[in-house]
Structure 1
Amino acid sequence: MGAPLNLVVLGLSLSSSWGNGHATTYRALLRAFAARGHDVLFLERDVPWYAAHRDLPEPDFCRLVLYPDLAGLDAHRAAIAGADAVVVGSYVPEGIAVGDRVLAWARGARAFYDIDTPVTLAAFQAGTCAYLAQPQIRGYDLYLSFTGGPTLARLERSYGSPAARALYCSVDPDAHPRLDREPAYDLSYLGTYSPDRQPTLERLLLEPARRAPDLRFAVAGPQYPGDIAWPANVVRIDHLPPERHADFYASSRYALNVTRGDMIRAGWSPSVRLFEAGSIGTPLISDRWDGLGDILTPGREILCADTADDVLAVLRGQSEAERRRVAAAARAAILSRHSAAHRAAELEGHLREASGRRAPSMPALETVE
């Protein structure tokens, strides 16, 4: 496995899962990374909307430090300079300025971790990306992307990344063990409101709910507008912290996956919903996108739906034995390929590879004193 690494991560949030999917991703990944014997420092911008909703203020797998503003990063310059590797994440407040500091200070491998790659590339086209400047891509030794497939070649060919590598989200199987509960819902969805996901949620959950008043549905997640007409048989839950995700999914016969528009167009952009629900044994119904079959096999490990009729055909027509078969197949695939331990090993390999390219005459990821 090699010598232990000293990693610094500057990400959107580790302390609060409110209104973002980044915290869940970082928690699973970095817990597994630390379990491999590495040391992790996570630097998080202290912002009021997360300060009011902190559900992991003191992680037991890494050091978490909140910094007040850009000037506050100066106190951590030595840690950034001396780290074996430094990772800057997408959507970090004033991320371009943060990236400039990291690129100037860091002497180890420097990586950008894009948990929103299709959104980032769309923002480049619109000239609105506030957390990454296009010229910075050439400066980062490694571009870690939530999106795989052709997007990786595009990042290298069109944007000059020295190395673009997929680093999908994952699941911690210990936090999402197989659970067999009496279902409270026939179909549930967990996700923060997004305007480009809402039409699909309308088509694949709200419309089936209206047409099947005898069935039970649930939507959990914050920031949904107050003017949405929720059918009477749809339970609304404003926010579920990560430690309640497993119970929520286990309370559903099926879980719905809905993908953002930019990610559908890019393909190869699996959501953590796929892995969390699948790990605890709840079968998934998903919209369609290129690359889904590289993650889970449609028809065997995941069910795809285009219309309300498709959803109702599953909810009303699939036998319990078939439901359990799909769930078992998905869980086996997730545990064999998509656990946090798998991702942590991938991250370590990518960082060591990047360090070797950066300083081929030096031992890989040698700590600079």
Structure 2
Amino acid sequence: MKLVVLGLSLSSSWGNGHATTYRALLAAFAARGHEILFLERNVPWYANARDFDQPDYCQLAFYETLDDLAEWREAIAGADAVMVGSYVPDGIAVGQFVQQVARGTTAFYDIDTPVTLAALERGDCAYISPELIPGYDIYFSFTGGPTLSRLEQQYVSPAARPLYCSVDVQSYMPLDVPKQWDLSYLGTYSDDRQPTLERLLIEPARARPDLRFVVAGPQYPDTIEWPDNVERIAHLPPAQHAAFYSASRYTLNVTRADMIVAGWSPSVRLFEAAACGTPIISDVWPGLDSVFELESEILPATSGEDVVAALDREGARIGEAARRRVLTAHSAEHRAAELEAYLKAAHASAASAALAQNAQ
């Protein structure tokens, strides 16, 4: 099938987890024989921090303004499916354009579902509106569980389906590199994650000056007082992620507040670390045990003491078990097959509805 994706970014992973999610998913989707066009808004903060060349599995094109999308009207109209992603600049107007022009299946891919729903409740979501949701044939959600029913019942989505993030297991695998850190964390700064990072990494670092810690990611304020045994890396491009995780005895997963409340919201970093065989210490949220088995595949922690206790354990078996889970359930190939099945089902449903209408 021909798929057009209008997403936040494919070209730059700076300050977002969307790029690596799209790269893994679309490469695997193309490997199933499909043709893909990715349209990305050309914004300076990503244009100045691109870490990805023109992919060989899809066409990547940039547009400057909403009016420029008219140049892609024919491609959007002729596609078998068109998918708009969360956080796309002027996403409401983009969605309206797609729903007016597309003749195939239309979908919204929300890689930030709990954040989106919180913004919709406040009435200040910039990339999708309650009026737009029923117009998408499918609402692909980064979050599973009860959120799917809420999307269908409260926001009248015709079909809300889980499409978790995934990982390219060819790019993320255990590497034979020296261990540099006892505990690592990779993630962009956010106000609502910082208290958990303080509790689960900075406090343990202060308690254990004999251990080595690292925090990688942009936008951390200069006002944060990092202990001497916490190294800072301002930005780590995806090409270096596998080496980063492989150099970590353990890595930490920290979840945003809205996603903890919603549950069933595994981040792409969770799957990437597990694919590298790095044992994970994670904050706790509903549905975590549906992604990894607690204690044997991932170590839950609610306090700094839990983290320190975990760091005194040998984690190799936990990391190996988590990697096996990713290979059997959370690879990009698995997710691409799910995407294909959902789109085919939507197409078949639309065809049946058209036949029924014509028969009347």
- Short-chain TM bin: over 0.9
* Deviation (angstroms), 1:361: 6.0
The answer for the alignment partner of 2:260 in structure 1 is: 264
CA contact (8 A) 1:39 1:62 kept: yes
1:238-289 Cα deviation digits (max 9, x unpaired): 0011111000000100000000000000000001111111111100000000
**Equivalent-residue separation in structure 2 for 1:222 and 1:43 (angstroms):** 25
Could you tell me which residue of structure 1 aligns to residue 331 of structure 2?
339
Residue equivalent to 1:366: none
User: Which residue does 1:20 correspond to in 2?
Assistant: 16
70, 95, 99: which one pairs with 1:99?
95
Aligned Cα root-mean-square deviation (Å) = 1.0
In 1, the alpha carbon distance for the partners of 2:210 and 2:174 equals: 27
Where has structure 1 moved over 6 Å in runs of 4 or more?
Answer: none
Match among 205, 218, 223 for residue 222 of structure 1 = 218
Task: For 2:269 and 2:6, locate their aligned partners in 1 and report how far apart those are by CA, in whole Å.
Answer: 24
Could you tell me which of 118, 121, 145 is aligned with 1:122?
118
Aligned position for 2:358: none
Contact 1:17/1:24, CA 8 A, preserved across alignment: yes
Q: Structure 1 CA distance, aligned partners of 2:243 and 2:174?
A: 10
Aligned with residue 289 of structure 2, among 284, 287, 293: 293
SS at match of 1:132: coil
1:135 and 2:128 aligned: no
For the residues of structure 2 that align with 1:179 and 1:295, how far apart are their CA atoms? 24
Alignment of 1:262-341 (within 5 A): 262-316=258-312, 318=313, 320=314, 323-341=315-333
Paired residue type of 1:102? V
Aligned equivalents of 1:143 and 1:227: distance in 2? 40
Residue 111 (structure 1) aligned with residue 107 (structure 2): yes
Matched, 1:207 2:203: yes
- 3-state SS of 1:360 partner: helix
Q: Any idea what the Cα deviations from partners look like across 1:208-252, whole Å, max 9, x if unmatched?
A: 001111100000000111100011100100001111100000010
Query: Which letter does structure 1 place at the counterpart of 2:318?
Result: V
* Cα shift readout 1:79-101 (whole Å, capped 9, x = no counterpart): 00000000000000000000000
Using the alignment, how far apart are the partners of 2:320 and 2:276 within structure 1? 10
* Matching residue of 1:80: 76
> Aligned to 2:316, what secondary structure does the other structure show?
helix
Residue 181 of structure 1: CA displacement? 2.8
- Whole-Å separation in 1 of the counterparts to 2:75 and 2:319: 44
User: Aligned letter for 1:83?
Assistant: A
What does residue 349 of structure 1 align with? 341
SS in structure 2 of the partner of residue 135 of structure 1:
coil
State the match for 1:235 in structure 2.
231
Once residues 242 and 180 of structure 2 are traced to their aligned partners in structure 1, the CA distance between those partners, rounded to angstroms, is 14
C-alpha displacement at 1:59, in angstroms? 1.2
User: Secondary structure, in 3 states, of the residue corresponding to 1:359?
Assistant: helix
Corresponding residue of 1:182? 178
Identity %: 65
The answer to which of 51-60 and 337-346 deviates more is 51-60
Counterpart CA distance in 1 for 2:4 and 2:95 is 13
Q: Runs of 5+ in structure 1 lacking a partner?
A: 364-369
User: Please, which of 249, 253, 273 is the counterpart of residue 253 of structure 1?
Assistant: 249
What does 1:145-164 correspond to in 2, within 5 Å?
145-164=141-160
Q: 2:85 aligns with which of 61, 86, 89?
A: 89
SS at match of 1:243: helix
Maintained 8 Å contact 1:178/1:279: yes
Q: Which residue of the partner structure matches residue 192 of structure 2?
A: 196
Mapped to 1, the partners of 2:229 and 2:176 lie a distance apart of 23
Secondary structure of residue in 1 paired with 2:165:
coil
Q: Distance in 1 between matches of 2:242 and 2:154?
A: 40
| Counterpart-to-counterpart distance in 1, 2:36 and 2:277 | 31
- What per-residue deviation string (whole Å, max 9, x for no partner) do you get for residues 313-346 of structure 1? 1112x1x3xx111111111111000000000000
Once residues 267 and 278 of structure 1 are traced to their aligned partners in structure 2, the CA distance between those partners, rounded to angstroms, is 19
Check the 8 A contact 1:300/1:329 in 2, yes or no. Answer: yes
**Which stretch has the larger CA shift, 271-280 or 159-168?**
271-280
Whole-angstrom CA distance in 1 between matches of 2:354 and 2:178: 57
CA contact (8 A) 1:179 1:281 kept: no
Q: Structure 2 length normalisation: TM-score?
A: 0.97
How far, CA to CA, are the matches of 2:163 and 2:221 in structure 1? 32
